[in-house]
Amino acid sequence: MAITAQMVKELRESTGAGMMDAKKALTETNGDMEAAVDWLRTKGLAKAAKKADRVAAEGLVGVQVSGGKGVAIEINSETDFVAKNADFQQLVREITEVALETATDVEVLRATHLNGKPVSEVLTDAIARIGENMTLRRMHVLEGDTVVSYVHNAATDGMGKIGVLVALNGPTEKAQEIGKQFAMHIAATNPVSLSEATLDPVVLERELQVQTAKALEENASSDKPKPEAVIQNNIIPGRMKKFVAENTLLGQPFVINPDLTVEQAAKEAGVEITGYARVMVGDGIEKKEEDFAAEVAKTLKGA
């Protein structure tokens, strides 16, 4: 497979690797971007890349909570300008309210009526009115004894670029108080999973393969190689323990008090975190690369 400059650029941006290292990684893995990331990490040339680091889209996340239930929905727009539009914000608010009252998932929400029409039609009308394409993309529902919400980079009340929901068991007043702090923590750290038990086994297996290859390669090139048993029984398990701690909410150092993990902070407060949802605008949508010069040339040719 031909390795293009754009592929090298994308890999460099997502891993922080040098240009020649990125090119070699892509060559070694026949252009497989995910495998190239793992190759760089095995060589100690990159950190774990998160797809969210290289994706973008505009729009808003709407968040609402009532009692022990909360919802977060994402509606995308083509430009940030529309996300600041009062008409668009009102649309997000109304659809979020409908979601909280009646919907169980995004498909049900699209079919649910708002002002006498299905939400999908309301959105189509808004596209014609505002003049920009929009998409109702995602919806998360979270339930628990207490559900707390937080919006980061709020455009207005209850909506912004990142919406977080946290479900907790325990005394309501305390759950509300510390739940807000946990929600802010989640917005900042973007954990992969609640705990080790809920981590995707595929993610764990992939990380184990990377850490095993990396540890064995480092040991082979060391002036004082360690016995195989030390690598397998100490080094690799230690690195996996660190990976789990960094990527699970309960295992992460609490941003308010890094001396405690989130799990320990919850126990000290007398509450238990039973679930969470974090929705960021554009997460998982590849942003189209725009070649402005080519676009201008194309326009001139058509003139």
**Closest residue by Cα to residue 242 from 11, 10, 48, 12:** 48
As a whole number, mean pLDDT of residues 73-92 equals 92
Mean pLDDT rounded to a whole number for the chain: 89
**Which residue in the block uniquely carries the two structure tokens 């909280």?**
100
CA distance 274 to 217: 40
pLDDT band at 130 (very low <50, low <70, confident <90, very high): confident
* Beta-bridge partners for 62: 73, 159
As a whole number, mean pLDDT of residues 180-206 equals 95
User: What pLDDT, on a 0 to 100 scale, did the predictor assign at position 301?
Assistant: 58
CA distance 108 to 90: 20
CA distance 204 to 196: 9
Does the structure show a pLDDT above 70 at 148?
yes
Amino acid at 124: T
Strands (E), the chain: 58-66, 69-77, 113-114, 117-118, 134-143, 146-156, 159-169, 253-254, 257-261, 272-280
**Closest residue by Cα to residue 288 from 106, 85, 133:** 133
Does the structure show a pLDDT above 80 at 150?
yes
User: What pLDDT, on a 0 to 100 scale, did the predictor assign at position 51?
Assistant: 41
CA distance 163 to 156: 12
Does the structure show a pLDDT above 50 at 303?
no
SS3 for 60?
strand
* Beta-bridge partners for 69: 66, 143
C-alpha dist (Å) from residue 93 to 89, 98, 109, 176: 6, 9, 14, 23
As a whole number, mean pLDDT of residues 43-62 equals 65
DSSP 132: S
As a whole number, mean pLDDT of residues 35-47 equals 84
* Surface-to-core class of residue 132, CB atoms within 10 Å of its CB (0-12 exposed, 13-18 middle, 19+ buried): middle
51-71 residues labelled b (16+ CB within 10 A) or e (exposed):
eeeeeebbbbbbbbbeeebbb
As a whole number, mean pLDDT of residues 132-139 equals 90
Residues 57-76: pLDDT tens digits?
799 999 999 989 999 999 99
As a whole number, mean pLDDT of residues 87-98 equals 96
CA distance 1 to 156: 47
Q: What is the pTM of this model?
A: 0.76
User: What pLDDT, on a 0 to 100 scale, did the predictor assign at position 216?
Assistant: 93
User: What pLDDT, on a 0 to 100 scale, did the predictor assign at position 297?
Assistant: 58
Does the structure show a pLDDT above 60 at 142?
yes
> 253 Cβ partners below 8 Å, 6+ apart?
259, 260, 261, 262
pLDDT band at 45 (very low <50, low <70, confident <90, very high): confident
- The answer to whether the beta carbons of residues 174 and 269 sit under 8 Å apart is yes
Does the structure show a pLDDT above 90 at 294?
no
CA distance 272 to 269: 9
Question: Could you tell me how far CA 257 lies from the centroid of its own chain?
Answer: 23
Does the structure show a pLDDT above 60 at 293?
no
Amino acid at 34: E
